[in-house]
Structure 1
Amino acid sequence: MMGQLMWDILRHTAFRWLFISSLISLVGSKIHRIALLFVAYQETQNAVWVSLILGAQFLASAVLGPLLGPLADRYNRRTLMVLSDLARALLVACIPLFAIASMPLLMVIAFLMAVFESVHYSASNSAIPDMVPESALDGANGLMTFVSRFADVAFVALAGVLVANVGPAPAFWIDATSYLIAAVLLALLPPLPGKAGKSNYFAAVAEGLRPLWQNPTLSRTIGTLALAAAFGSVEAALGVVYAVGALKIGVQGFGVLEGLMAGGAILGLFVTMPLIKRLSRETVFLLGLGTWGLFLASTGLFPFPVWAGVAMVALGILNTMFIVPARSIIQLAAPPELRGRIMAAFGATMQSAVLIGTFLAGVLEPRLGVLTVLYFSGIAVFLAVFTVFLWGGIPRLTSEARPG
């Protein structure tokens, strides 16, 4: 019944077009990502180029993302999303035409792709509260999480098979086509005008950053998530080391664990929605994130394949359980005229936290071992959440106090 109610949110026409366009573009993006990294390594036989391309994407998202945030508050968000998808279609099409053999050109394309992805992210996430009523916001965010996880489960493996058997060029053409189709669907949206004035641009950037520490709801939600991501993202960096080195189940086993986590994230939708109805977004967020930390710690404490499988499903469920209400909390706490900038800053903050976690994993694992790092990282996530809980938790906004 709850799943049916969640899918009923697609009756909102504007959100339905956003959902379908996101699904189509993500199919191409998953295939494109595998093909891009494959080309970078195949052409150079040097993992440094793979790291440089990933680094270029991170730089664009983490540094330029907040600087581009005012666009989503000043201009029509539908137009921004359409232009972002058209630009990405053009950039991807350039790769098989003349960029496959040029690593510097691939880096530039990867950088620009991430720039337009940041614009699309802030525009789409800031537009969702205008597409559905507040009672449907958690379900809408849940469905957008479903889109991403479903693409992970269904198309990452397909991408590997496609690239291995027919080469990377068809993968890039599929991605370019997916962006074109997504742009056409987004053009069906009603106008979604920004609600901010045209003041000094860099003053507008600063104005969008200030609520991250001045607004208690935003600062505690984003701060807690960032701390958790800085420690918890070691799991993503050390997953293959954990599977191959600690569990002795090989790369195939690593793939199974990743699939179990993605599947758990989809199942998490059917857990999260009823809990939000019974408790509150703020409570479900902290409960999900704190429990996630304990399960992460358990993977280091009990390094057995069966338990690892159980823990990965639980981690996927709990990931949905904290990320869905977190997005709703941020969207509702952000003033409508600042929502694009705040969502852009949120995305950049999370990107930076993940980079810190990846760095920690690389530094600590050779010294402490993968199991110790996973255990203490999980405990650190739990302690961060517990500290916020002791300080009074996440302030809950009433409808009267909500911006706008």
Structure 2
Amino acid sequence: MAGAELRAVFRVREFRVVWAAELLSIAGDQLARVALAVLVYGRTGSAAWAAATYALTFLPALLGGVLLSGLADRYRRREVMIAADVVRAVFVAAMAIPELPLWALCMLLVVVVLLGAPHTAAQGALLPEILRGELYERGLAVRQITSQTAQLAGFASGGLLVAAISPSMALLGNAVSFAVSAVLVRAGLRDRSVPARDGDARGDATVAAHAPAAGLSGVVAALTEIATDPRRRALVLLAWLVGWYVVPEALAAPYADQVGAGPTVVGLLMAADPLGSVVGAWLFVRFVPAVTRARLVGVLAAGAGVPLVFCLFRPPVPLTLLLWAVSGMLSTAYLLQTQASFVRATPAVGRGRAIGVAASGIIAAQGVAVLIGGVLADHWDPATAIAVAGAVGVLLSSGVAVAWHRANRNSEPVATTVLASG
């Protein structure tokens, strides 16, 4: 049974630690996003400002991927994760200072997002070492389902908590989640040496000196490797296009205002996509045969934008929640497959850098998309902006889906499994 196969990963102690730490941080992050949306929109009354602040929870990751993701290949990955968590806890706590100027809030937010890049790269590179063989794909599926559940809980309760307490207290809760995550990683993960190339038994300092290039040169090398591989190129482009399907979350506060609702509805709207993601990940793993999953990637990517187009007709809140949830269901299903196929197609040496660049591109693409969505919402209205984002996602994904089909047809089959059903 699929459920039994999924539970197998929890027999690995280190995976339980990574899973718990990540779950805690994600829940705190979603609570912070609700708090920022309410705080900024309440101060400015501008959809563009609200979307711009939300974009800052994504956009700086591009710079973080360029400058910092290579740290996961040059230093001990556990220590990279701990350092990133500790510093982010400090800066998020500073964001909770009452009446902090908006410019200072934005600057602190940029630093917090930048530090997410090395953490993501180190965690992503460690996971194949923690989970061997088929356990890796199962771990990906478990993380996707539970992380989206944490987002759902964070968004759904976030509106209630922000309304009951204050945005500043919600931000302090996020700071605590980072601190606890650092403690869990420090206590529960084995201290591995700096990654070495095959046959390289040198010490940490020497290996770090000869690790894959960091900074801009390292990113250029990673992007070149991806761009010259038709399959990985198509997978990365499809993954980056998921940004268009995040626009509804960024516009939840102004959309709720458009329909005359309050902070509680903001949290529910933000929770719709994670709810769909949980359902989508489970359905994809449980009912779609492993041999057909890769072929469905392009179709699912394009289909994820279709429900958002119907927002053009200003549906009531219950129907809006359903549309956003269906979009999240489809986008998560295709994103799961692109992630698993990409990591398996990437060599172990330099994997942290490649994962960091790809993941940072996803986050940065989300930031660009929601920023555009905010401008469109101010020019027209939130419902129209969401519909346009969905239509753009459909058109661009359809084009990349054709390229993916050709690359997959002309090459040996990509490792298609995110999880074998049993």
The TM-score bracket by the shorter chain reads: 0.7 to 0.9
The alpha carbon displacement at 1:14 in A equals 1.3
Q: Which residue does the alignment assign to 1:320?
A: 332
Distance 1:52 1:264 in 2: 25
Q: Which residue of 2 aligns with 1:131?
A: 130
For 1:69, what is the secondary structure of its paired residue?
coil
2:75 match: 75
2:144–2:336: 8 Å Cα contact kept in structure 1?
A: yes
Q: Once the two structures are superposed, what CA deviation does each residue of 1:314-336 show, in whole Å capped at 9, x if it has no partner?
A: 32322221111111112111221
- Please give the secondary structure, in 2, of the residue aligned with 1:134: coil
What is the distance in 1 between the residues matched to 2:49 and 2:401?
40
Answer yes or no: is the 8 Å Cα contact 1:43–1:101 preserved in 2: no
Distance, in Å, in 2 between the alignment partners of 1:89 and 1:65 is 20
Matches within 5 A, 1:256-295: 256=268, 258-275=270-287, 277-295=289-307
Report the AA paired with residue 21 of structure 1: A
In the TM superposition, residue 117 of structure 1 has moved relative to its aligned partner by 1.4
Q: Which residue of 2 aligns with 1:183?
A: 182
Provide Cα deviations, 1:16-48, integer angstroms capped at 9, x if missing partner: 110011111222222233334445556677777
Matched residue type, 1:312? W
CA gap of 1:291–1:134, structure 2 versus 1, over 3 A, is farther
User: What letter matches 2:142 in structure 1?
Assistant: L
CA distance in 1 between partners of 2:270 and 2:243 (Å) = 20
Write the deviation string for residues 96-116 of structure 1: whole angstroms up to 9, x where unpaired: 4x5743334323321221122
Gap change, CA 1:293 and 1:116, over 3 Å in 2: same
> Residue in 1 aligned with 2:230?
216
SS at match of 2:191: coil
The answer to whether the Cα contact below 8 Å between 2:121 and 2:353 also exists between their aligned partners in 1 is yes
Hey, what's the Cα distance between the residues in 1 that align with 2:260 and 2:44?
Answer: 29
| Superposed displacement of residue 70, structure 1 | 1.0
2: CA distance between counterparts of 1:221 and 1:254?
32
Q: Return the TM-score normalized by structure 2.
A: 0.79
Q: CA deviation at 1:222?
A: 0.6
> 1:232/1:191 Cα in 2 relative to 1: closer, same or farther (>3 Å)?
same
Tell me if 1:377 matches 2:392: yes
Whole-angstrom distance in 2 between the partners of 1:309 and 1:36: 21
The alignment's TM-score, normalised by the length of structure 1, stands at 0.82
Name the residue aligned to 2:34. Answer: 34
| Superposition CA RMSD, Å | 3.5
**What residue in structure 1 maps to residue 10 of structure 2?**
10
What number of residue pairs does the alignment pair up?
395
Compared CA separation, residues 276 and 184, structure 1 to 2 (3 A):
farther
Q: Which moved more, 1:25-34 or 1:122-131?
A: 25-34
Q: Is the CA contact (8 Å cut-off) linking 1:53 and 1:106 kept in structure 2?
A: no
8 Å CA contact 1:288, 1:321 repeated in 2: yes
Give distance in 2, aligned partners of 1:301 and 1:392.
38
Moved more, 351-360 or 209-218: 351-360
Q: Who is 2:361 aligned against?
A: 349
Aligned residue for 1:210, secondary structure, equals: helix
Could you tell me whether the CA contact under 8 Å between 2:47 and 2:254 is conserved in 1? no
Matches within 5 A, 1:47-62: 50=50, 53-54=53-54, 56-62=56-62
Is the 1:272–1:321 contact (alpha carbons within 8 Å) kept by the matching residues of 2? yes
1:271-316 CA distance string (max 9 Å, x none): 1223565325522433432332444445658957776555434323
The offset of 1:205, in angstroms, is: 3.4
TM-superposed deviation, 1:156? 2.1
Q: Give 1:81 deviation, angstroms.
A: 0.7
- Between stretches 311-320 and 336-345, larger displacement belongs to 311-320
Aligned position for 2:200: none
CA distance in 2, matches of 1:175, 1:163: 13
Q: What are the ranges of 5 or more consecutive residues in structure 1 without an aligned counterpart?
A: 400-404
In the TM superposition, residue 378 of structure 1 has moved relative to its aligned partner by 5.2
Query: Which residue matches 1:402?
Result: none
Task: Tell me the equivalent position of 2:105.
Answer: 106
Alignment of 1:128-207 (within 5 A): 128-187=127-186, 188-192=188-192, 193-195=194-196, 197=207, 198-199=209-210, 201-202=214-215, 203-207=217-221
For residues 153 and 214 of structure 2, the distance between their equivalents in structure 1, rounded to whole angstroms, comes to 41
Partner residue in 1 for 2:120: 121
**How many Å apart are 1:268 and its aligned residue?**
1.8
Q: Tell which deviates more after alignment, 137-146 or 179-188.
A: 137-146
Give me the whole-angstrom Cα distance separating, in 1, the residues matched to 2:171 and 2:270: 24
Please give the alpha-carbon distance, in whole angstroms, between the structure 1 residues aligned to 2:37 and 2:266: 19
Conserved 8 A contact 2:59-2:365: no
SS in structure 1 opposite 2:70?
Answer: helix
Q: Which amino acid aligns with 2:219?
A: V
Corresponding letter in the other structure for 2:229 = N
